[in-house]
Structure 1
């Protein structure tokens, strides 16, 4: 019988399993504490439990781990990028960043991505699968173990579209914020989406306190549809209406992410149209110098980003330029995974098979 991934179970589900095993309800809370506060990696280390129970747990459940395939530390700042190998041999990326308010971690939510955004390395290799709640948590736990620090805030902005993995992400939020476990306030969590409108509205109705960050990248439907295929299904008007709804329901200001791409989305006309679109909205525009990738010609000069910011500010839009971290270690998501998958495939071709 295949063992169950215990890290993905919320406390109430774990209580139900303990009842089935004939154990008192409080055992679940003890185990949950060992898993998510002490973050043990073996049942044998749960020393407040009897040896017999620990052995039974080990037969029924498993505590998975992520393997650090690569670790790159920036020589420019304190950014550290991890390439994690999952139990099935797939790879995801996680980035540890140091801010004045503490340690922030950018995690992945899928292996690959099916959204097809033209300027993103994550989507080039295609979508493989969703990450489980445990695999989302383990990016935090493994990073804390390696870096010897406590993660203060979280950004779901790595590989994948979080709202395309909606159920697992919501389960992860339950686990993350449980006071009996890791206990992070969801007000310290930012979720980035390319614009899955029905899921934005559903998330708003849950009133979790999560900060919403929307990848806008163009105020024009035709241009946005060229670089972001999701716009063909959910055009800018519907997306911005959903953002207004999110603010109305949660009181949380939405951040508009805008990758400035030379010759694509940063003319004076783009600035004017963007200002018109956002007029009256409680939002902030975060301008991002686009990260160059080998398969695309997209580029942005620093002076272009600064000029576009000035034009927006003149038009009354609150716009800032994102601080660039880890530029010397490929800190933009997707690049390390793509290289690792390429090496794995090459090995598979030469030796007759690879781990999948």
Structure 2
């Protein structure tokens, strides 16, 4: 990337005239270290590992495992077709396998991973939120959304999250553990089975399935890097996996710069999304604690490098929070920083924060939203105010968290 001119620091022209609400926690205590800084949890706590599943393995490893279980190698391909094409792990439906050993063989290759605890659907029926219980009792959620011409699944990559962002319900819960690649994939397979059964409304065609994946559910995907990449490889594998397009997969991060650079080197052209939420370090240090490690400019440089390596336009995610980060001067600063790194490489997606009555964490007023978007577009930054789906079932961005009610339902099940 050619050397860019330095980016000047933009401050409000008259600070006294700008209402600035500072981030703070409400109803919970943010974990902090001995020096009073928000704690970041990158390593997964030690817990019992989920059973190894077909989706955790490469195609070659699947063949070897099948042989270990006393079956000929071609049985691996049969299992792949049942799971990735017919969306089933039920041995009774696998009539091409030997009846006498079928149940034991399938259990060895396709052990159960997700138990559905509850399912919430919007009134229109176009959005469904799932609560899943993992083998060790950990709870995660995923959200299935129908749009004209596409179906999107928001998947979780961790149970909880260790990034400690004060405005995100998932971050308040802390990190329980990383999810396995197969636990990530099983969310997609189970969603596809539901779609095929007609439970997301009338199918547009007989082979309808999830077309788009967004890693924007529970967890910081790049903090679970190895399992994330294994799941992406399975999603995009045309012969031995789900056969999805990499361009329909979005990986979102709060800004783990070394992992962004690794992702750029993978040569898998997924869409990359940076959850920025503030263009200035002073505010972003408070909003996104990982900014204490990698500052705004470092994250934006890594995002630009991702575009250079892949040719895939980067998305900047920006939650608009009333009087906190929605100021006109911040829109100008964001545009300035993005334009300093070139043109045509980025798209901004502001999204009104899901409002909480009486809280400092509430969405920007509509005229403010419109002005923020107008300023970015006027500066030549393609910007689209994003639709918020699933608010009424707590399935929208930042709302995914296992509540006490969820815990009780899981225990009862």
Indicate whether the TM-score tops 0.5: yes
Q: Which runs of 5+ in 1 are unaligned?
A: 349-353
Question: Residues 135 and 296 of structure 1: is their aligned pair in 2 closer, same or farther, counting only changes over 3 Å?
Answer: farther
Q: Aligned partners of 1:325 and 1:158: how far apart in 2?
A: 13
| Residue 365 of structure 2 is aligned to residue 306 of structure 1 | no
8 A contact 1:261–1:299 mirrored in 2: yes
Contact 1:7–1:63 at 8 Å: present in 2 too?
no
Match of 1:25?
A: 73
CA distance in 2, matches of 1:155, 1:44: 32
Task: Name the SS for the 1:337 alignment partner.
Answer: coil
Residues 1:151 and 2:199 aligned together: no
**What's the secondary structure of 1:241's corresponding residue?**
helix
Q: In the alignment, what sits opposite 2:25? A: none
Which residues in structure 2 correspond to 1:1-356 (within 5 Å)? 4-21=52-69, 23-54=71-102, 56-58=104-106, 60-75=108-123, 78-147=126-195, 148=197, 149-180=208-239, 181-279=241-339, 280-281=342-343, 282-293=345-356, 297-300=360-363, 301-333=365-397, 335=399, 337-339=401-403, 342-343=404-405
Which is further off, 129-138 or 327-336? 327-336
**Which piece of structure 1 moves more, 251-260 or 29-38?**
29-38
For normalisation by structure 1, the TM-score amounts to 0.89
CA spacing shift, 1:259–1:3, aligned 2, 3 Å: closer
Tell me the CA shift for residue 10 of structure 1: 2.7
Which one has the bigger helix percentage? 1
Work out whether residues 258 and 288 of structure 1, in 8 Å CA contact, stay in contact via their aligned partners in 2.
yes
Secondary structure of 2:272's aligned partner: strand
User: Does the aligned pair in 1 maintain the 2:140–2:402 contact within 8 Å?
Assistant: no
User: Deviation of residue 3 (structure 1)?
Assistant: 5.9
TM-superposition CA deviations, 1:167-200 (whole Å, max 9, x none): 1111111211222332111111111111111111
Counterpart contact for 1:275–1:312, Cα < 8 Å:
yes
Which secondary structure does the structure 1 equivalent of 2:130 belong to? strand
Give the 3 Å change call, closer, same or farther, for CA 59–324 of structure 1 in structure 2.
closer
Q: Deviations over 1:63-104 (max 9, x none)?
A: 214233222221256222222222322221111112122111
Cα displacement string for residues 329-348 of structure 1 (whole angstroms, at most 9, x for unaligned residues): 22225646332xx2366799
Aligned counterpart, 1:351: none
CA distance, structure 1, for counterparts of residue 242 and residue 358 of structure 2 = 40
- TM-score, normalised to structure 2, is 0.78
**Following the alignment from structure 1 to structure 2, what is the Cα–Cα distance between the partners of residues 306 and 292?**
17
